[in-house]
Structures are given as structure tokens and as C-alpha cells.
Amino acid sequence: MAGTITTVREHEGDLVVESADIVAEDVVALTLVDPDGDALPPWTPGAHVDLILEDGLVRQYSLCSDPADSRVIRVGVLKTPDSRGGSRFVHERLTKGSTVRVRGPRNHFPLVSSPRYIFIGGGIGITPMLPMIAEAEATGADWHLYYGGRSRASMGFLDELAAYGDKVTLVPQDEAGILDLATILGDPRDDTKVYVCGPEGLLGAVEAKCGAEWPAGSLHLERFAAKEIEAPAEGERSFELELAASGITLTVPPDRSIFDVCQDNGISVMGSCHEGICGTCEQVVLEGEVDHRDSVLSDSEKAANDAMMICVSRCKSDRLVLDL
Amino acid sequence: MQPTPVPLEKVDLADLDVFEKNEAWGMFDTLRKEAPVHWNEEHDGGSGFWSITRYEDIEAVDKDPETFTSTKFTNLEEPPEEFQELRRSILESDGPRHLALRKLLMRDFTPAQLRRYEDFLRGLAALTVETALQQEEMDFVDAIAADYPIAVLARLLDTPEEMTPQLIAWGNEIVGFSDPEYARVLVNSEESQKYRHLPFSSPVSQEIFEYGRTLAAERKGGDGEDLVSKLVNRLPEDGIPLSPEHFDNYFLLLVVAGNETTRQAISHSMKALIDNPEQMQWLLDNPDKYPQAIEELLRWASPVYHFRRTATRDVELHGKTIKGGDKVVMWFASGNRDESKFDDPYTLDLSRFPNDHMTFGKGPHTCMGSNLARFEMRIIFETLLPRVASIAQTGDIRRVRSNFVNGIKAFPVRIESKQA
């Protein structure tokens, strides 16, 4: 398989909705094309795009079309009642012929080659699984997909999945209960990769089952909310940033990080990954309630509220004071 | 100064002569322009590698461990499968285990933690500088750059002072594994085959292991605040204890990474300041700009030329197909001279800002000691420069024969001192 490096040169542009199809209760599938019919950037299974909606609201959606078809990309969007309105906007405002700004694709959930796969999709988490199983099938891997949902009517793409016969097991909760992870996962195997996308409860349960027993690197999770450092449902807020050692006070707007704002104002701050994973940019917190979004600090370290990664973390209170 | 361009067909980044002569830069420039993904054969039995030389490509590779894994080792050497587990350290791990190993010590290197060492560092820097300035003629590496970082490391490891020369010698041998002047057993030599179970295929690794194990045995169960005590007494967050082999490799990494690279950065920085006297003057006139200037000196120094990854699947980049299993080399030094990222990359501009160099890498494996290195550099130059009335290079620089570390072995200088 020939893929393309993720995030090498990120594409951003306006695409046109070629079709918007309701594929299940509260799930719309948007098929997007270039307005001039140009080829879209290449991507690999597991990739997602940002849809840039009104007011700079950004939402990530997995691609669920065929990577070999460079004419279109397709995303599946679940309407969620509790959101700031990202999915509602998609459902109500993006119709055939609408234009939407798209950034990406990029892939944080790539399919690693393996002789055997277990795919688990929960609800709208089925979307990245569609190109993944197509690829697994094409490479001749031994694979099985378990697809859980509230009810059959809430589960999209069933017609496409039917083509794979008994390699796909549907588990509508109202008929068959919840996914039986103990049976699905079975004993740890070193020839198997496990791919999971779905609600946090499912991810946590699979993580707990796989955690210590399966070989490191077996489990691959797509966790948009945490890993993608997505804005909270009520949206990002701005806050006041006081740099105690420098004696200046700045404002961090919703669309900028603390790191950016420091740098914009000529404050020398160190950083490297800008994704909350490397730990280089840690700063000492003097006041303010930190909204931790990194992967560096443990839960207890986060609770201590005395240090933070300024590349991704923000502030829940109106004022943050750093020893900087 | 812009290096002399090298025609593409003459580019060979496996040729150590090139690095010993400091001629890799012209090759990097050619590759960035003409062949950003470039296949390089190896002549010592290696399987060859792809060179990645543009800033944003290096960053993409470094941030995508699923596609470009560290688990197949991270230098050009390809250790035999049967020894890989034995030799594996945090450098050659990915995913949750990597993060768990990293977190064992990560927070010991935060700026806030390091501030505790400020008085110690200032005292040590003053002692180093005053001792060196007793004479005018000196080798800068021996007199200033080498001892200072290792003394810091000795403090962090809490090793006795009499061990310091031994720590320096070990660091030299390990990092100079391809340099006959440093290494007793050259990597990929016939003799090194006997040591392929050891990191860098070097018998020195065994000596370092044995010393580390002695320290570990003494400190296990204690409440020491030194890094060895923390390593042996802390449980990684994934609940899997550090195996004896993992401890060995972690300790070795601290000994090597903790001193050699910082020494090189200090030597390169001094050379850059001598070659750009107006920049040195600017820094003396703007002492609040040291942190910013250190970033430029780090970009300039690029003490680590590369780290290696291995593709886990076929990947297309700039029209080339990198096959799963191919070695992929991120030339950080080249990224630090990428003209699309840095204006006039061959100009030393201590006021450059922002300065998002890749000297410490860019992804989950970003150097854990980066803030310590910055701190050490700032303090040594804050201490040294005000004491210098004039400084001149008095002879040729000799470089480490390596395409891994960009190292200076000998750097003769004359320093006339003044009262600060």
C-alpha cells in the first residue's frame, strides 16, 4: 500500500457539498468535492479533516470514503444535542451545493500493517473503520469488525458493510446488548492490532482490557476529544494572562495558545511538539485554575495546579498568573 | 557563511570524511533544493537510508511515530533482531511505554526544577571559567566545554567527584563510536561484532552498566533525590517496572546524552561568537537577551546531526516511495538551515525571534534535557563573556569523525581576560 505522509503540507480550501445524505437517525454523510473538480489531497485510512464552520468553530471528522478516489471525500456527522452547534450547523446548513472550508486531511490514527486486526466501532466511530476494513480486506489480512450502536436505525452505512458478510458483526444495543469486549478481544496475541473508535466509555473499557495484557503497540484508539485537543462544547474563552516575572499582563484570545501569545509579545518561551506530549514548555502556575489538556502530567499532577504545558493547556478562571 | 554547493551526484551522507571535514552543509543544501527525499547507499554493510532534509518534512516524520517508528532503532546501525530487546532504551520505544519511561524523569528537567540548581551551576561555571583563565592559551573543549556539563551531570546523578574524568571518557568513547581517536572498538568493525548485544556495539557500554548497577544497588529503597535513586525507586505509570536491562540503558543514556551534546553546543557557540564579534558585542550590550541568543546558538550548533526512524508501511513523499522497513534519517542539522523556515539561515543572528529550531527534535522523543542544556549554556556564557577582553582562535579545529554527533575535539584559543 502506498500512503502519504500525514501533515507534511497541510491543505486548506473551500470544498463544495456534492451530496448530503441521511444515512441513519441523526447521521448525515457529506460528500465533498473541489469546486473546480481538481483532485483532493491524498490520505490514508484513519485520516480526518477539520471542517471550519461559522465563527471559526472547528470540528474534526474522520474520512469514510475510498482513499483511492481523489475526486471526493466523505465524512459522517452525528447530530449531538449538547454541542456548541458544530454538528447542528453541519446538519442544518450544509446541503447540496453549500461551500465549506476544509483543512487537512491529516492522520493521527493510521492503520499499521498487521496480519490480523480487530476493529471496534461504536456509534459514529464507525466512520474511520470503513476505509480501514477496505484496506485490511485488500491486503488479505485476517480481520473482523464489531459495530455497536443504540439501535439498528441509529447505525449508518449498513448497506456498505453488508458486502463484507460475516466479517462484520452488528451489535445494536436494543437487540444484542453492549459489545462483549472479553469475547471480542479474546486472549492477547502478538499478531493482532486492535483499532477502536467510539464514545469515551467504549475507549476506556477497551483500554482497561488491553492495557497491561496486550503487547505494547497493539491498541490503537481514536479519541478526538482528548487527543485532538478539541475546543470544549461551550467553545474556547479568552482569559487574562499575567506574567509575574516579566511584569506584564496579556490577553489570550480563544484562538491562540498561551505559548503563541507569549511569543507574539516577545516573551522567550521554549516549546517543541506543540501537542502537549514532549513536556518542554512546562511553566509554573502561581494563580488561576488550569484547564489541563496535555498528555504529560498525571491526574494528581494536574490536580496540584502548580504547573502546566502552555502549548495546549488553558485556563478555566478569568485570570492566570505564571512565574514567567 | 554559505557553504559551497555540492552536486547531487556527489552527495553521500554515509561518508564520514565529509563530516570530519565539516562539508555536510553543502550536501544538505543540495538535498533540500533538489532531492528532499533522497536514497543514500551505505558502504559498511548497512542497508541504505532515506535522507529527509527539509524542516517541515523532518517535523512531520518526527511527529508520526506510527508511520516512522523508533522501535527499529534510531542510529544508522542495524542491531541484529536477537539483541534488540537487550539494547532497547527509551530512544527505541514508542507509544504508551515510551511515555511511561519518559515520565519517570521528565519532570526532573522542567525549568522550575532546574532553578534549584542555579546557585550550583553559577558556582560551577565561575570555577570552570576562573580555572581556565589562569592561562591565555588553551584548548576550549578541554578547558571549558567538556568539564562543565559533566560536572552538572555528576551532581544530578550524585556521583563522587573522582568519577568525573571517567564519565567524560565514557561519553567520548560512546558518542565517538565511529571515530578511531575516541573509540577503542569502532562501530561496524570486525571486533565490534563481539559487542553487538551492547548499545553502540561498544564494550564501554558494559563498563557503564556495571557502574550504574553499583549505584542502583546502593540506592534502591532509599529516598535519594538524585536521578539514579528516582530511576530505581519509581514505578512507571503503566505499572510495568523498569527491567535491569532497561535500567542499564536508561543510565547509559543519561551519562552520554547528559554531557556530550551540551559540550558540543558550548564549543560550537564559542566558535560562532568568535567568528561573529559584532554578535558577541551585541550580547554583551544586551545581557537580558541571553535566553534568546542561546536559541540561535543552539540552532547554529546543531550538535546532533540526525536521528533515524524506520517506516512501518509504504509511504509516498515528494514523489518517492519509502518502503515499509526502510531506514529514514531526519537530518535535524539540515532543518536548522532550511531557508524556507529561517531567513538567511547561514547568518548568525542572536536576536532571531521566534526561533523554532529543531536541535532537540520535534516530536514525542524531543530531548528531555533540553531545558537543562539551555540553562547550562546560558550560565556558562553569562559567566565567561564578561570576563573576556579578547578571544581568538589560534589553530585548526578538529572534528569528531561522525555523522551522528556534530562534535569538536580540539579548539585552540587564546583568551585575554578582564575583570567582569
Give the span between the Cα atoms of A216 and A207, in whole angstroms.
12
Residues of chain A in contact with residue B93, where contact means CB-CB under 8 angstroms, are: 216
Residues of chain A in contact with residue B60, where contact means CB-CB under 8 angstroms, are: 5-8
- A45 and A122 assigned to the same domain: no
| Position A55 confidence tier, pLDDT thresholds 50, 70, 90 | low
- A214 and A244 assigned to the same domain: no
Q: By residue range, what is the domain housing residue B53?
A: 8-417
Cβ proximity of A67 and A131 under 8 Å: yes
Q: Is A205 on the interface with B (CB under 8 A)?
A: no
Note the pLDDT of residue B182. 76
The rounded radius of gyration (Å) of the Cα atoms in chain B is 21
Nearest CA in chain A to B63: A273
Return the number of other C-beta atoms located less than 10 Å from residue A95's C-beta. 12
Mean pLDDT of A306-310: 95
Asked whether the predicted pLDDT for residue A81 surpasses 70, the reply is no
Closest CA to B133 of B144, B121, B118, B149: B144
Contact B291 A2 (CB under 8 A): no
Instruction: Tell me, yes or no, whether B2 lies in a domain.
Output: no
Instruction: Tell me, yes or no, whether A111 lies in a domain.
Output: no
Return the number of other C-beta atoms located less than 10 Å from residue A52's C-beta. 16
- A221 and A259 assigned to the same domain: no
- A203 and A243 assigned to the same domain: no
Note the pLDDT of residue A301. 86
Asked whether the predicted pLDDT for residue A228 surpasses 70, the reply is no
Residue B51, C-alpha cell as written in the block: 535522507
Q: How close B363 gets to chain A, by Cα (Å)? A: 5
| Structure confidence by residue, pLDDT tens digits, B185-235 | 777 777 888 888 788 778 888 999 999 999 999 999 999 999 999 999 988
Using the CB atoms, write b or e for B47-74: b if 16+ within 10 Å. eebbbbbbbbbbbbbbbbbbbbbbbbbb
- A215 and A128 assigned to the same domain: yes
Question: Which residue in A3, A7, A280 is closest to B315 by CB distance?
Answer: A3
Instruction: Tell me, yes or no, whether A1 lies in a domain.
Output: no
Note the pLDDT of residue A8. 42
Phi, psi (5° rounding) for residue B120?
A: -60, -45
pTM for the predicted model, two decimal places? 0.69
Coil, helix or strand at residue A171: strand
Instruction: Tell me, yes or no, whether B248 lies in a domain.
Output: yes
Nearest CA in chain A to B71: A217
Phi, psi (5° rounding) for residue B45?
A: 100, -10
Give the span between the Cα atoms of A111 and A67, in whole angstroms.
13
Q: Number of C-alpha atoms within 13 angstroms, CB side, residue A28?
A: 20
List the beta strands (DSSP E) in B136-294: 137-139
Residues of chain B in contact with residue A111, where contact means CB-CB under 8 angstroms, are: 313
What is the average pLDDT score of chain B? 92
Note the pLDDT of residue A225. 46
Give the span between the Cα atoms of B54 and B341, in whole angstroms.
9
- A124 and A73 assigned to the same domain: no
Q: Number of C-alpha atoms within 13 angstroms, CB side, residue A43?
A: 32
| Structure confidence by residue, pLDDT tens digits, B354-394 | 899 999 999 899 999 999 999 999 999 999 999 999 999 99
Closest CA to A290 of A274, A270, A306: A306
The CATH number covering residue A307 comes to 3.10.20.30
Question: Which residue in A8, A111, A307 is closest to B57 by CB distance?
Answer: A8
Q: B191: exposed, middle or buried (C-beta count within 10 Å: 0-12, 13-18, 19+)?
A: exposed
Beta bridge partners of B309: B328
- H-type alpha helices, B276-369: 277-285, 290-301, 332-335
| Position A231 confidence tier, pLDDT thresholds 50, 70, 90 | low
> Scanning the structure block, which residue is given the C-alpha cell 478516489?
A69
Count of domains forming chain B: 1
Instruction: Tell me, yes or no, whether B247 lies in a domain.
Output: yes
Q: Number of C-alpha atoms within 13 angstroms, CB side, residue A52?
A: 12
- Strands across the sheet containing A3-4: A3-4, B315-317, B320-322
Q: Is A244 on the interface with B (CB under 8 A)?
A: no
Count of domains forming chain A: 3
| Structure confidence by residue, pLDDT tens digits, A126-180 | 999 999 999 999 999 999 999 999 999 999 999 999 999 999 999 999 898 889 9
CA A308-A312-A313 angle, to 5 degrees, is: 45
Asked whether the predicted pLDDT for residue A226 surpasses 50, the reply is no
Q: Is A305 on the interface with B (CB under 8 A)?
A: no
Give the span between the Cα atoms of B411 and B142, in whole angstroms.
9
ipTM of this complex: 0.77
Instruction: Tell me, yes or no, whether A3 lies in a domain.
Output: no
Instruction: Give the best-scoring range by mean pLDDT among A70-74, A104-108, B96-100.
Output: A70-74
Using a pLDDT cut of 90, give the percent of chain A over it.
Answer: 54
Give the span between the Cα atoms of B166 and B174, in whole angstroms.
12
Instruction: Tell me, yes or no, whether B1 lies in a domain.
Output: no
Q: By residue range, what is the domain housing residue A265?
A: 239-322
From A295-299, B23-27, B384-388, B403-407, the region with the lowest mean pLDDT: A295-299
Q: How close A323 gets to chain B, by Cα (Å)? A: 9
Give the span between the Cα atoms of A82 and B218, in whole angstroms.
57
- A185 and A120 assigned to the same domain: yes
Residues of chain B in contact with residue A217, where contact means CB-CB under 8 angstroms, are: 71, 94-95
B360 Cβ contact partners less than 8 Å away, ≥ 6 residues apart: A272, A280, B298, B366, B367, B370, B373
- A201 and A248 assigned to the same domain: no
Looking at A106, A135, A153, which one is the last position of a domain?
A106
- A154 and A205 assigned to the same domain: yes
Interface test with A, best of B107, B298, B307, B353 (most A CBs within 10 A): B107
> Scanning the structure block, which residue is given the C-alpha cell 532546574?
B114
The CATH number covering residue B55 comes to 1.10.630.10
Return the number of other C-beta atoms located less than 10 Å from residue A39's C-beta. 9
Instruction: Tell me, yes or no, whether A4 lies in a domain.
Output: no
Question: Which residue in A212, A220, A295 is closest to B239 by CB distance?
Answer: A212
Looking at A77, A106, A135, which one is the last position of a domain?
A106
Phi-psi category of residue A279: left, alpha or beta, with phi > 0 → left and psi -120 to 50 → alpha? left
Note the pLDDT of residue A279. 84
The CATH number covering residue A193 comes to 3.40.50.80
- A47 and A130 assigned to the same domain: no
Q: A175: exposed, middle or buried (C-beta count within 10 Å: 0-12, 13-18, 19+)?
A: exposed
Task: Let me know how long chain B is.
Answer: 420
Give the span between the Cα atoms of A188 and B193, in whole angstroms.
35
B287 DSSP assignment: G
Looking at A106, A132, A164, which one is the last position of a domain?
A106
Instruction: Tell me, yes or no, whether A232 lies in a domain.
Output: no
Instruction: Tell me, yes or no, whether A233 lies in a domain.
Output: no
Q: Is A247 on the interface with B (CB under 8 A)?
A: no
- A77 and A158 assigned to the same domain: no
- A121 and A65 assigned to the same domain: no
